[in-house]
């Protein structure tokens, strides 16, 4: 090889290395500004016109029906259930409303379709007093289907009020559009619209580009006999439907994002694009009520990761929580290792539609120099070691809010032997938000 050719080869290799390095996301430090929490055992009284059975919740969480209040004892946490009332906590979606007020979506109940039939679905407006660390409920909106819009039988089918339950939908993401709300579900996965009073206006199957996506928990999916019918072309994993759903600044486009990989029946494996495990991100026109053809892909750092929330913070720039399935510290059977928030831009993707990860902050390495947190700080480093961190949004030009879904009473991430609370944190992340 000539000296000139060697130099050209070296320059080409250097350029390739520089391009690869540039593709790596930048890492920024988050600093804890404030901390608040809603205690795990926080419950609401069911609506007066709800069936009497909803005066208690959690009766199906032990593999069989238990009608005795506190009749199930959990040695892991020392708590007993069923509980009086409806679980308030377990927030799986958030939007900042300004003035320390937030729209939050309560998850479907106790973790599955089978055990959540006595849990009523709701969303709330809360106010956080960051000085005292208290979380207060301003307004609760219960979801219902009085006009029989839901295309499948619901738990309260024969009642007049027809309140929706955690056995009907697994609600994970919410966006306000005008005086209505759009909600993303995991069971279908379904996308549905409710009015200001929580009444169902429409329920839509997931059909971007005319391709139907359904999960094993979809009401219209029948489990085949052994050796029976083949899977559909694209099958969303159980508990892998819409975990995050962003809204464009003009309110005209929703971007539902699946929590987990879809099963590619053609390949006989979970989907990959550009040799990366990816999650599908769709587009939905709120004015036309129609799915778009564009599909973007969010690249996971590992195939067993999942996303927790997804919100646009300005233009096409957005925040996405990516997490592993661990919780807690060294005392845990499966400690939390990977809990990050990534900055992406919906206009920055490769030729296959795979998004570029611009930057990230590590929720297991949050600076707490002033000792703001009441628990969780060691050597001025605060950690957020929860299995399901499912809430992130921008509060102002330099600050974001982050919160966990505490899966009460089952998740134990903060302290061994103690069921998690719903923790809310404000993080100073000015440099992260301005990363290019």
* CATH number of the domain to which 395 belongs: 2.115.10
- Whole-prediction pTM: 0.92
Q: Which among 22, 1, 29, 24 has a CA at the least distance from the CA of 367?
A: 29
Tokens of 325: 């399935």
Tokens of 31: 């600093």
Residue ranges in the chain whose pLDDT is less than 70 = 1-22, 223-237, 239
Each residue's pLDDT tens digit, 216-239: 899 998 765 554 444 445 566 676
Residue 127 within any structural domain of the chain:
yes
Cα separation, 213 vs 363, in Å, equals 32
pLDDT for 267 equals 77
Each residue's pLDDT tens digit, 14-31: 444 334 334 799 999 999
pLDDT for 288 equals 95
Q: Domain span at residue 59?
A: 25-433
Residue 6 within any structural domain of the chain:
no
**Tally of CA atoms within 13 A in the half-sphere of 252 that contains its CB:** 5
Contact 305, 338 (CB under 8 A): yes
Cα separation, 156 vs 255, in Å, equals 30
Q: Which among 172, 144, 176, 136 has a CA at the least distance from the CA of 160?
A: 144
Cα separation, 435 vs 424, in Å, equals 24
CB under 8 Å, gap of 24 or more: what pairs does 152-160 form?
A: 152/219, 152/220, 153/219, 155/117, 156/51, 159/51, 160/49
Torsion angle of alpha carbons 214, 218, 222, 227, nearest 10°?
A: 40
- How many structural domains does the chain have? 1
Residue 9 within any structural domain of the chain:
no
CA 322 and chain centroid, separation: 10
pLDDT for 7 equals 37
Residue 4 within any structural domain of the chain:
no
pLDDT for 223 equals 65
Residue 13 within any structural domain of the chain:
no
pLDDT for 241 equals 80
Contact 259, 239 (CB under 8 A): yes
Residue 380 within any structural domain of the chain:
yes
Contact 82, 32 (CB under 8 A): no
CB atoms within 10 A of CB 434: 13
- DSSP 8-state code for residue 419: P
pLDDT for 387 equals 97
pLDDT for 225 equals 57
Q: In sequence order, which residues have a C-beta less than 8 Å from that of residue 238 and are 6 or more positions away?
A: 215, 216, 217
């Amino acid at each position: 090889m000539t000296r000139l050719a060697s130099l050209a080869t070296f320059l080409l290799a250097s350029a390739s290395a520089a391009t690869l390095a540039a593709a790596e996301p930048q890492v920024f430090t988050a600093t804890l500004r404030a901390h608040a929490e809603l205690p795990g055992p926080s419950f609401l009284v069911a609506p007066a016109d709800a069936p009497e059975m909803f005066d208690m919740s959690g009766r199906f969480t032990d593999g069989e029906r238990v009608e005795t209040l506190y009749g199930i004892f959990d040695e892991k946490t020392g708590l007993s259930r069923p509980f009086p009332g409806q679980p308030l906590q377990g927030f799986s979606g958030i939007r900042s409303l300004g003035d320390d007020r937030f729209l939050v979506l309560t998850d479907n109940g106790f973790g599955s379709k089978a055990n959540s039939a006595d849990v009523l679905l709701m969303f709330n407006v809360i106010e956080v007093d960051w000085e005292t660390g208290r979380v207060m409920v301003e307004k609760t909106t219960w979801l219902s289907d009085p006009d029989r819009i839901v295309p499948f039988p619901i738990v309260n089918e024969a009642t007049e009020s027809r309140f929706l339950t955690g056995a009907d939908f697994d609600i994970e993401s919410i966006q306000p559009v005008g005086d209505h709300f759009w909600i993303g579900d995991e069971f279908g996965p379904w996308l549905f619209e409710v009015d200001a009073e929580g009444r169902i206006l429409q329920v839509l199957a997931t059909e971007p580009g005319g391709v139907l996506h359904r999960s094993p928990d979809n009401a219209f999916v029948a489990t085949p006999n052994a050796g029976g019918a083949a899977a559909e072309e694209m099958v969303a994993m159980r508990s892998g439907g819409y975990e995050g759903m962003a809204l464009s600044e003009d309110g005209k486009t929703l971007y539902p994002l699946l929590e987990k990989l879809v099963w590619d029946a053609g390949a006989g494996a979970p989907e990959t694009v550009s040799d990366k495990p990816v999650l599908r991100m769709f587009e939905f026109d709120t004015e036309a009520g129609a799915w778009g053809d564009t599909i973007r892909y969010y690249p996971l750092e590992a195939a067993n990761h999942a996303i927790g929330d997804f919100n646009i913070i300005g233009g096409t720039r957005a925040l996405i929580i990516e997490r592993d399935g661990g919780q807690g510290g060294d005392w845990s059977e499966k400690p939390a290792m990977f809990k990050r928030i990534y900055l992406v831009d919906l206009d920055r993707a490769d030729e296959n539609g795979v998004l570029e990860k611009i930057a990230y902050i590590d929720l297991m390495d949050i600076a707490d120099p002033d000792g703001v947190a009441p628990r969780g700080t060691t050597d001025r480093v605060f950690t957020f070691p929860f299995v399901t961190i499912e809430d992130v949004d921008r509060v102002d030009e330099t600050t974001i809010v982050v919160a966990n879904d505490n899966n009460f009473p089952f998740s134990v991430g903060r302290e061994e032997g103690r069921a998690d609370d719903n923790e809310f944190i404000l993080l100073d992340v000015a440099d992260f938000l301005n990363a290019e």
